[in-house]
Structure 1
Amino acid sequence: MENLGWRRRAYVNMGLIALNVVYFFYLEITGSTSHTGFMVSHGAMYAPLVLEKGEYYRLLTSIFMHFGINHIMNNMLILFILGDNLERALGHIKYLIFYLLCGVGANVVSMAVNIREYRDVVSAGASGAIFGVIGGLLYAVAVNRGQLEDLSTRQLVIVIVSSLYFGFTSTGVDNTAHIAGLVLGILFGLILYRRPGRRRYREIWD
């Protein structure tokens, strides 16, 4: 029998990618995504404005912003490859809620750590949400005995290790948001994901 779940289109994931890309090109046309002040004026994360001015919307808007073409290309490629798997596993609405919670939650944790360590930084990017997607998939694969559609535990572990290694060996990367997103993804996966039960069919005899 054909697996219809495999064929379901991931509309939300494609919509998130489109929103990121459209906003990126809007910012590039009207200014420059490599200019810190310009990015702050258009919604990037900056703790003093969040806490002192009450601009909490930055916790959300910043996950749709990227510093330069390489930043958005890397993030959207991973989201394109992995996001549809989790959307099919969770469903459209749950996936959207999951993605936004991971992104905002990773920003909150990152902001708290930066404040504690007296770091005054501007940040933006979908990485926290994307690491959340990876964490959610890791949980879903684990409860499905190491395989979910075309994904295996080994593949996800390789993605996680290589992504974290790249982050820790590069400059200007918010590793706190990455780790926070990963942990939140596993936790929200535990809350929102339910392993589908096996369908039972009756044999019909002519």
Structure 2
Amino acid sequence: MIVIKKEKLLRYIKESPVTFTFLLIIIIYFIVISLNGGTNDIETLVRFGAFFPPFIFKYNQYYRFITSIFIHIGISHLFFNGYALYVFGTQIERFLGKKKYILFFLLTGLMGNITTYIFNPISVSAGASGSLFGIFGAFIYLIHRHKEMITPEGRKSIISMIGINLVLTILVPSISITAHLGGLIAGYILSYVFIK
């Protein structure tokens, strides 16, 4: 059993090295923050690079546009985003290739944060949700422009999953609507360049 699990992990790392690296960074970052004040403590989150527009504007801390993508607030946030990245990021990585996928992931996360910077400039936020919704945007593009590449069952499940996530985005107060929608729109538009 242990050998099978090890072989499965090694195969996953070989087939999806970028997604695995992103997951590793997210987990290590989470552990470090947890040991130095906690991932639910606002001051600690800001200290470690969470997205906080007032500091970006006042102190030119532009690195927060990127560092915040890899920070997660609480174990449930880490689990849900980590699992979604594991499942859906893997597929887009294999489709785009490593270099394009890295750029796509960072750009959609960046656009989610830029949207937040413009429309919600006083909140503290963090997470890979902008990038994940960017990945969802890529799936919407594939369904729209390359329907033959996804099975009918796959299309239904993807549309359902995106619909559920959009409803949760609207209904759950702690979720950043701006980051999700910014990432989703950016993911769809960038797919015209990255996928064609």
> Normalized against structure 2, the TM-score is what?
0.88
Q: Which has the larger radius of gyration?
A: 1
Structure 1 match to 2:127 = 125
In the TM superposition, structure 1's runs of 4+ consecutive aligned residues that sit over 6 Å from their partners are none
> Matches of 1:152 and 1:83 in 2, distance apart?
15
> Matches of 2:137 and 2:96 in 1, distance apart?
13
Structure 1 match to 2:164 = 162
Alignment of 1:50-89 (within 5 A): 50-89=56-95
Structure 2 match to 1:4 = none
Alignment of 1:174 with 2:172, yes or no, is no
Alignment of 1:97 with 2:103, yes or no, is yes
The 1:81/1:53 distance shift into structure 2, 3 A limit, reads same
Shift of 1:146: 4.7
Higher helix share: 2
> Matches of 1:113 and 1:121 in 2, distance apart?
10
Alignment of 1:32 with 2:34, yes or no, is no
The gaps in structure 2 that reach 5 residues or longer are 1-13
Partner deviation per Cα, 1:126-181 (whole Å, 9 max, x = no partner): 10010001111221243322543797322221111100111211121101110110
Is this contact kept in 2: 1:146–1:152, CA < 8 A? no
Is this contact kept in 1: 2:36–2:44, CA < 8 A? no
Alignment of 1:49 with 2:55, yes or no, is yes
CA RMSD of aligned residues (A): 1.6
Structure 1 match to 2:7 = none
Percent of pairs with identical residues: 30
Letter in 2 for 1:138: I
Letter in 2 for 1:105: M
Structure 2 match to 1:197 = none
Structure 1 match to 2:10 = none
Partner deviation per Cα, 1:86-139 (whole Å, 9 max, x = no partner): 111111100000000000111011110013xxxx21010110010001111221
Structure 2 match to 1:140 = 142
Q: What SS is found at the alignment partner of 1:49?
A: helix
> Matches of 1:140 and 1:95 in 2, distance apart?
15
Is this contact kept in 2: 1:65–1:125, CA < 8 A? yes
> Matches of 2:144 and 2:38 in 1, distance apart?
42
> Normalized against structure 1, the TM-score is what?
0.84
The 1:132/1:83 distance shift into structure 2, 3 A limit, reads same
The gaps in structure 1 that reach 5 residues or longer are 1-7, 195-206
Letter in 2 for 1:186: Y
> Matches of 2:48 and 2:66 in 1, distance apart?
12
Structure 2 match to 1:107 = 113
Q: Select which of 184, 187, 195 maps to 2:186.
A: 184
Is this contact kept in 2: 1:142–1:153, CA < 8 A? no
What count of residue pairs does the alignment treat as equivalent? 183
